[in-house]
Amino acid sequence: MELSPARSAVAERPSTDGRTGLPANACVGQAVPRISIVTPSLNQGAFVEQAIRSVLRQDYSNVELIVVDGGSTDGSAEIIGRYQGRLAHWIRERDSGPANALNKGFERASGDILGFLNADDFLLPGSLAVVAREFRDHPEADVISGHGLLAKASGELGAPIFSDRWNLEHFAHGACVLVQPATFFRRSAFQRIGGFNESTKTCWDMELWADLALAGARFRAVDEFLAAFRLHDRSISGSEHLRRQRRQDALAVRQKMRGHIEAAGDRLYELFHRLRKFSGHPYRTLTQRWFFRSTLHRWSL
């Protein structure tokens, strides 16, 4: 399976042509940091090959990919097996959910820089070279977040989605978003918090950002497009069935950040922050909402 065609022009998306990453032969005389990517997968046979290939085809020499399959029955094993020789690890056993699968994968990871790529998402070409460059040039940063593109189930790329500059107060009120497959973090920061909270079933990425922030991690936003986030109705993000659970889990994370149960004042403050964010980029938000509508037949996740 080939990767998606070249990205079409999208409003408000800066060009990535000619971007200066960190190619495979860069840093002569210096160690090229290892980047470990963990991909959890369960019955994602329609998508997992593109995820795997998007990592293995990066122009970066020191990357390891770990795939954690929780007992797929849809032919995923045969697909993943084609790439077994190029995987650092392939874990095939039942798990208690994606957060548990990710913890299993990261226990085996050896990289100094970590990231996780859900089996239905994929990296854009040249992404890991950019990530390595940013961590090299900004040793004070613990978390690096780039932007992404929404994609249809077919892999066709569409509206851009943007990681915000980190602001703890905005995050605690639902107005600071990091694009998950375009976010990477140092092993040392991940180890300080003890990994993912495995009791969270839908917002484990959001809770990871919260836990990292509460532990003192330093965040940096990068104005580069690094990954694609696929929308389809069988994903946890796209599932209408899990929508209520996602909202409950997200509220629990925000309450953890605030340090108290949500009150009426919090809801008003949250509305204020979201309206202010919308007023800064109304066309960007409307473009995303229209893509949700045309893809999932509703206006938001």
Domain spans in the chain, listed from the N-terminal domain onward: 35-296
Q: Model-level pTM?
A: 0.88
For the chain, what is the mean pLDDT?
A: 88
Structure tokens at 93: 């056993």
SS3 content of the chain, % helix, strand, coil (to 5): 40, 20, 45
pLDDT band, residue 24 (cuts 50/70/90): very low
Alpha carbons 215 and 147: distance in angstroms, whole number: 24
Give per-residue pLDDT as tens, 223-275. 999 999 999 877 666 556 678 888 899 999 999 999 999 999 889 989 998 99
Please determine, for residue 297, whether its predicted confidence score (pLDDT) is greater than 90.
Answer: no
Count each helix (H run) and each strand (E run) in the chain, helices first: 10, 9
Give per-residue pLDDT as tens, 136-173. 999 999 999 999 999 999 999 999 999 999 999 999 99
Q: What is the CATH number of domain 35-296?
A: 3.90.550.10
Q: What is the pLDDT of residue 292?
A: 86
Please determine, for residue 78, whether its predicted confidence score (pLDDT) is greater than 90.
Answer: yes
Q: What is the pLDDT of residue 201?
A: 84
Give the residue with greater pLDDT, 166 vs 24.
166
H-helix or E-strand spanning residue 163 = none
Residue range 55-83: mean pLDDT, rounded:
96
Q: What is the pLDDT of residue 81?
A: 96
Across 161-170, b (16+ Cβ under 10 Å) vs e yields bbbbebeeeb
Residue type, 108: R
Residue range 89-102: mean pLDDT, rounded:
95
279-288, Cβ contacts within 8 angstroms, sequence gap of 24 or more: 281/12, 281/162, 283/11, 283/12, 284/11, 284/12, 284/160, 284/162, 287/11, 287/12, 287/159, 287/160, 288/150, 288/159, 288/160, 288/161
Please determine, for residue 28, whether its predicted confidence score (pLDDT) is greater than 60.
Answer: no
Please determine, for residue 13, whether its predicted confidence score (pLDDT) is greater than 50.
Answer: no
Q: What is the pLDDT of residue 235?
A: 62
Q: Could you give the angle at the alpha carbon of 3 between the alpha carbons of 85 and 84, nearest 5°? A: 10
